């Protein structure tokens, strides 16, 4: 069964995404290059972002992941469900969380709090896309790639009903 691309607008072209990744890598390197950080990717959304950002970070680091879910097949978030991770101990570590999008900020804020409770020295956040919302998010990203409108967006790690994470651009319904 072939899924058709939903009726949507391309809002962030692939070239803009690549330039944002380069800029983010420079900012993260300047801040974390000498701290041997633990980079934790939020699955599944952060997978594409992490896969393209990590090769740009040319310094010693370790990787892990957490798997949480709020959306499922819905277009609005629900309660946070913990599925896995992190696998590496965070106690005494500087941690950088990578996620695809910062919307309400509840997911990153909850994960950040849990990692601090587990003994992380500091937990920084990197969200590739930051949604422009009227209400402030529960947390601000320490590093961000692009701003997107307050619409349902997908592509570059973000999905619509489990599909289209693999798009090299970002689209909005």
Mean pLDDT across the stretch 128-142? 93
Across the beta sheet with 9-12, the strand order is 9-12, 170-172, 153-154
Instruction: Yes or no: say if 138 and 109 are a contact pair by the CB < 8 Å rule.
Output: yes
Mean pLDDT across the stretch 104-114? 92
d(CA 18, CA 24): 10
**Burial status of residue 85 (CB atoms within 10 A of its CB: 0-12, 13-18, 19 or more):** middle
d(CA 11, CA 107): 24
Mean pLDDT across the stretch 18-45? 97
Which has more pLDDT, 111 or 2? 111
Residue 14 has pLDDT above 80, yes or no: yes
Class of the 9-58+80-172 domain?
Answer: alpha beta
Q: Give the predicted TM-score (pTM) of the model.
A: 0.91
Q: Are strands 94-102 and 143-148 parallel, antiparallel or unpaired?
A: unpaired
Q: How confident is the model at residue 2 (pLDDT cuts 50, 70, 90)?
A: low
Return the C-alpha torsion angle 86, 168, 16, 44, nearest 10. -20
Lookup: tokens for 118: 């587990």
d(CA 108, CA 145): 16
DSSP state of 30: H
SS3 143: strand
SS3 39: strand
| Cα 38 from chain centroid (whole Å) | 15
Mean pLDDT across the stretch 150-161? 95
Note the pLDDT tens digit of each residue in 48-71: 999 999 999 999 999 999 998 765
């Amino acid at each position: 069964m072939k899924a058709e691309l939903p009726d949507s607008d391309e809002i962030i072209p692939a070239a803009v995404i690549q330039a944002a990744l380069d800029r983010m890598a420079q900012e993260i390197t300047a801040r974390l290059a000498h701290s041997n950080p633990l980079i934790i990717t939020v699955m599944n959304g952060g997978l594409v972002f992490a896969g393209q950002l990590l090769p740009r970070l040319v310094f010693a680091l370790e990787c892990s992941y957490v798997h949480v879910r709020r959306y499922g097949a819905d277009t609005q978030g629900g309660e946070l469900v913990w599925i896995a991770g992190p696998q590496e101990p965070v106690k005494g570590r500087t941690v950088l969380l990578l996620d695809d999008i910062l919307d309400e900020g509840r997911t990153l804020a909850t994960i950040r709090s849990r990692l601090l409770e587990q003994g992380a020295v500091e937990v920084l956040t990197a969200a590739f896309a930051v949604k422009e919302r009227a209400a402030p998010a529960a947390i601000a990203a320490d590093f961000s790639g692009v701003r997107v409108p307050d619409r349902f967006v997908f592509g570059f790690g973000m999905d619509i009903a489990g599909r289209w994470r693999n798009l090299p651009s970002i689209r909005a319904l």
